[in-house]
Structure 1
Amino acid sequence: MAVLPILITGDPVLHGSASSVTVFDDSLRELVADMVETMHAAPGVGLAAPQVGFPLRLFVFHWVDDSDTEFSGVAVNPELWVSPPPVGELDEDEESEGCLSVPGERYPLHRSELAILRAVDLDQNPFEIRAEGWLARIFQHEYDHLDGVLYVDRLEHVHAKTAAKVIRKAGWGTPGLSWTPGVDDLEG
């Protein structure tokens, strides 16, 4: 296993649609193991294949809720259904999220409270997870990556404007930029 470099916003693979996984082999298993190691090293609660340079429809996740229930796994070729997102004022404490491809930044974003994730695992076994709260948020965030959407692309105007300034000031937004957890002094 290896910790992989994480692409920073601006790289084309982050901003395009990923392709379905069609080959389930040892190379895919190795990629997923490397993604899990990278996610933990970052540290993060999810990581999509495009974030490490592979335009494939898969993501890994690991999250422990307030009751110490652990949710972890890999979602290959996922489909996601969500409830309507809330409207109204953002709660910056409860609705802020970050992204390993926009390292060190956090902005509030409305996400749907409920989500249903359907996917297959590495053995091509189908599964379904009904999620709410933060797990639903994680699924929406990672699923967006598979369609070339970063959470900063969904921010409301005032936060979008701030994020754009931060990205520009950091010199991001161009192809080829990355950081490696445990090597570079960045975190998301």
Structure 2
Amino acid sequence: MTILTTPRLSLRPLTPADLPAVLAYRNDPEVARYQGWALPATLESVAGLVSDAPLGTPGWVQRGVWAGAGLLGDVALNTDPQRQQAELGVTLAAWAQGQGYAAEALRALMAHAFADLGLHRLHASIDPRNVAVARVLTRLEFRHEGTSLQSYWHRQEWTDDARYALLRSEWTP
């Protein structure tokens, strides 16, 4: 099990007891607007987020983002060890947004991915209307690699897909 810490945060596995809080923020229309999960999120649909698999295990591995005793949201790493790459993602409750938590949690995830797991490349795929996350990725030195126009059907409309990436050689610890 991988637990990451920062001065303000702890990134640790979600437990079944956390799922009601996860459901609350994942069903918030403002939080879910640019995210890919089906709505409404159900206990069954979020149960798969509970795992003590180490970060770096192939596929998506989630970690709850905690400040003190409060669950703020979650981050995830989708690792492809054969390609030495991973996709990362972040979701925060609306009340936790705008306070630097996303950047802090992603920075910890990046450090683990590059320094501890030895990954070559990290990437993120976002709806370009999610300007706040685009700003966070840019601030974290991710490069906008391109946008595929109307490339996937999401929430009853064709949606663009903006891709961001960072190589380990470009990363500033």
TM range (shorter): under 0.3
User: Scaled by the length of structure 2, what TM-score is found?
Assistant: 0.27
Higher relative contact order (CA 8 A, sep 6+): 1
Between structures 1 and 2, the one with greater strand share: 2
